[in-house]
C-alpha cells in the first residue's frame, strides 16, 4: 500500500492548502469532521472485521461477515471523494465536492461502479495506476448486489449469485465463487487498503498541532492538540473547526462559484488530455451537469472534447486484439460521437461517426439500414470536404450493401459525381480506380 502513502505525500507536496481541503472534505456550513459518515464508516468496517476474525463461527457465518465488509467498503462516497480529490491535487488541480453529488438530471444516487469510474482516470493521470488497479481487481458489483439484495445462497464453500448479471472474470462467466479461494482473499486485500487509508488520513490530520504557513500560496493552516483545526487562504476564505463542526468563518466560501470554477477546470483538463485509459465517468457526469446548466459555450467545448476522446477510443479499438473488447470500445466510441453532435449540432459532420455505424452494425436488416445511413452521411461529408479516409470507406460500404441485395443506385450516382469532380492531385489515381470499381457494381 505504499502507493496510497505516495498519493497523500505527493498531493501534499504539490499544494498543501488543496491537500487540506481534500482531507477536510467540506460540503457546506455544518459539515462535521470526526462525527461524519466517514468516521462512522471507519468504525463500522472495524466492527465487522472483529466479527469476521472471531473464532468459533461457521464458514457460512464468516462468509456473511466477509460480504458485509466487502459491500460496505465500496459503498462509502467519501472514499471516492478523498481519493479523487487527492488525485486532482497531484494533477495540479483544485479539489471539488461537486462532481460526485447527485444532481437534477439523475433520478437516483450514483452506484458504486459509477463512483469508481469517476476516479479511475484521475488516478491513472496522476501516476497511481496501482491504486486504480485495486478497484479494477477487487470490485465486482454482482457480489455486492446479490448480498445486499438477499439474492444469494451458500453451498459448502460456494457463494451462489442468484438474480444478478453474470460475473465475468477474464472473459469467463461465473454464478458461483469460492469463499475461501475468492471472497476471503479479496476481503483481506480490502482490509489492508482500508487500514492504510484510515491511518494515513488520521495521521495527517493529527500532525497539524500548531499554526503553519502552507506552500505554495502562503495560506495559514491552524492546528490544535487534536490536530487540524482550519485554514485561511490569501483571498480571506477561512474554515474553523468548532465543536467538531466546520464553520465558514467569514461567509466568503461561495459554493456556486466553486461549481463554476470546477466545470472550467474539468473542461480544461479534458482539452489537455492526450490519452484515455478507461471510459472516463467524469466526462459523462460533466455532460449531465452541463446539459442541466445549458450554457452554450460549455456545450460547445464539451462537444469538442467528446469528438477528441471518441477519436482516441476509435484508435484504441483498431489496436485491440480481443474481438469483444474491440467491439465494446467501438460501441462506446459511437456514443461519444452521438453526444458530440447533440452538444454541438453546428459542428461539421464527423466521418468517423459514420464509419462506426458501419463497423458496429449487426448482420441484419437493421444493420444494413445503419450501413446505408453511414454511407449517405459519408457522401454528404465528401460534398464539403474530400478526404482519403471518407473516400475509402464509401468504396468499402457500397459493395457490401450491394452483395446483400440493398438498393444503392442513388448512392452510386452521388459518389460517382464526387469522384468525377475536382479531386486533390494526391488522391486522383485512387479516385479513378474507385470510379472504375464503382461502375462494375
Strand residues in 170-250 grouped as ranges (E): 172-174, 176-178, 212-213, 220-224, 227-232, 238-242, 245-248
Q: Answer for the pair 201, 195: CB distance below 8 angstroms, yes or no.
A: no
Same domain, yes or no, for 97 and 194? yes
pLDDT of 239 reads 85
Is 341 domain-assigned? yes
- The reported pLDDT for the residue numbered 175 is 94
Query: Containing domain of residue 391, as a range?
Result: 351-441
| Preceding amide of 400 cis, omega within 30 | no
pLDDT at 203: 95
Is residue 57 domain-shared with residue 165, that is, in the same domain?
yes
Task: Read off the pTM.
Answer: 0.79
Mark whether 357 and 327 lie in a shared domain: no
- Are 199 and 309 contained in the same domain? no
Tell whether 48 is covered by a domain.
yes
Q: Does residue 226 fall inside a structural domain?
A: no
pLDDT on residue 199: 97
Instruction: Tell me how far CA of residue 150 lies from CA of 142, 143, 146, 355, in angstroms.
Output: 12, 11, 6, 45
**Do 158 and 9 fall into the same domain?**
yes
Q: Give pLDDT, residue 55.
A: 95
- Residues 288, 372, single domain; the answer is no
Q: What is the pLDDT of residue 19?
A: 94
Q: For the chain, 441 residues long, give each residue's pLDDT as a single digit of tens.
A: 899 999 999 999 999 999 998 998 877 666 667 667 888 999 999 999 999 999 999 999 999 999 999 999 999 988 998 999 999 999 998 887 655 554 555 555 678 888 898 899 999 999 999 999 999 999 999 999 999 999 999 999 999 999 999 998 887 899 999 999 999 999 999 999 999 999 999 999 999 999 999 878 788 999 998 899 989 888 788 888 888 788 876 655 566 777 788 888 889 888 888 888 877 788 888 888 888 888 999 999 999 999 888 888 888 887 888 878 888 888 888 888 888 888 987 666 567 677 777 777 766 777 788 888 888 988 988 888 898 888 988 988 899 888 888 999 999 999 999 999 878 999 989 989 999 998 988
Q: CA separation (Å) from 433 to 304, 375, 389, 422?
A: 35, 19, 15, 15
Residues 382 and 439 grouped into a single domain: yes
pLDDT of residue 338: 83
**272 and 382 fall within a common domain:** no
- Same domain assignment for residues 42 and 150: yes
Q: Are residues 39 and 153 in the same domain?
A: yes
Judge if 102 and 136 occupy the same domain.
yes
Same-domain check for residues 327 and 431:
no
**Domain limit, last residue, from 347, 368, 403:** 347
Cα angle, residue 389 at apex, residues 383 and 392 outer, rounded to 5°:
85
Query: Domain tally for the chain?
Result: 3
Amino acid at each position: 500500500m505504499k502507493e496510497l502513502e505516495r498519493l497523500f505525500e505527493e498531493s501534499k507536496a504539490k499544494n498543501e492548502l488543496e491537500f487540506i481541503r481534500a482531507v477536510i472534505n467540506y460540503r457546506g456550513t455544518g459539515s462535521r469532521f470526526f462525527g461524519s459518515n466517514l468516521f462512522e464508516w471507519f468504525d463500522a468496517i472495524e466492527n465487522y472485521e472483529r466479527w469476521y476474525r472471531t473464532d468459533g463461527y461457521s464458514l457460512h457465518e464468516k462468509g456473511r461477515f466477509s460480504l458485509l465488509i466487502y459491500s460496505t467498503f465500496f459503498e462509502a462516497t467519501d472514499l471516492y471523494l478523498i481519493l479523487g480529490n487527492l488525485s486532482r491535487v497531484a494533477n495540479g488541480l483544485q479539489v471539488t465536492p461537486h462532481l460526485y453529488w447527485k444532481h437534477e438530471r439523475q433520478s437516483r444516487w450514483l452506484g458504486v461502479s459509477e463512483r469508481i469510474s469517476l476516479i479511475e482516470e484521475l488516478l491513472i493521470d496522476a501516476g497511481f495506476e496501482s491504486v486504480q488497479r485495486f478497484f479494477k481487481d477487487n470490485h465486482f458489483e454482482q457480489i455486492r448486489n446479490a448480498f445486499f439484495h438477499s439474492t444469494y445462497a451458500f453451498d459448502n464453500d460456494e457463494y451462489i449469485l442468484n438474480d444478478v448479471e453474470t460475473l465475468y472474470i477474464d472473459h469467463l462467466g461465473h454464478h458461483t465463487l469460492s469463499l475461501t479461494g475468492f471472497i476471503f482473499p479479496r476481503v483481506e486485500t480490502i482490509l489492508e487498503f482500508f487500514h492504510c487509508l484510515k491511518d494515513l488520513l488520521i495521521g495527517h490530520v493529527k500532525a497539524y498541532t500548531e499554526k503553519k504557513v502552507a506552500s505554495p500560496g502562503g495560506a495559514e493552516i491552524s492546528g490544535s492538540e487534536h490536530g487540524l483545526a482550519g485554514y485561511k487562504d490569501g483571498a480571506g476564505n477561512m474554515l474553523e473547526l468548532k465543536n467538531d463542526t466546520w464553520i465558514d468563518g467569514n461567509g466568503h466560501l461561495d459554493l456556486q462559484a466553486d461549481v463554476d470554477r470546477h466545470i472550467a477546470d474539468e473542461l480544461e483538463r479534458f482539452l489537455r488530455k492526450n490519452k484515455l485509459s478507461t471510459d472516463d465517468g467524469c466526462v459523462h457526469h460533466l455532460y449531465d451537469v452541463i446539459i442541466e446548466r445549458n450554457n452554450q459555450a460549455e456545450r460547445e467545448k464539451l462537444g469538442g472534447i467528446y469528438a477528441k476522446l471518441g477519436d482516441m477510443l476509435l484508435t484504441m479499438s483498431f489496436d485491440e486484439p480481443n474481438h469483444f473488447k474491440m467491439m465494446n470500445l467501438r460501441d462506446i466510441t459511437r456514443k461519444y460521437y452521438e453526444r458530440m453532435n447533440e452538444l454541438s449540432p453546428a459542428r461539421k459532420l464527423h466521418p468517423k461517426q459514420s464509419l462506426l455505424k458501419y463497423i458496429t452494425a449487426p448482420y441484419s436488416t437493421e444493420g444494413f439500414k445503419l450501413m446505408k445511413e453511414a454511407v449517405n452521411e459519408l457522401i454528404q461529408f465528401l460534398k464539403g470536404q474530400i478526404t482519403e479516409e471518407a473516400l475509402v470507406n464509401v468504396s468499402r460500404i457500397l459493395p457490401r450493401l450491394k452483395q446483400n441485395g440493398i438498393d444503392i443506385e442513388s448512392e452510386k450516382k452521388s459518389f460517382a459525381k464526387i469522384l468525377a469532380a475536382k479531386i486533390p492531385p494526391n488522391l486522383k489515381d485512387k479516385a479513378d480506380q474507385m470510379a472504375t470499381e464503382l461502375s462494375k457494381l
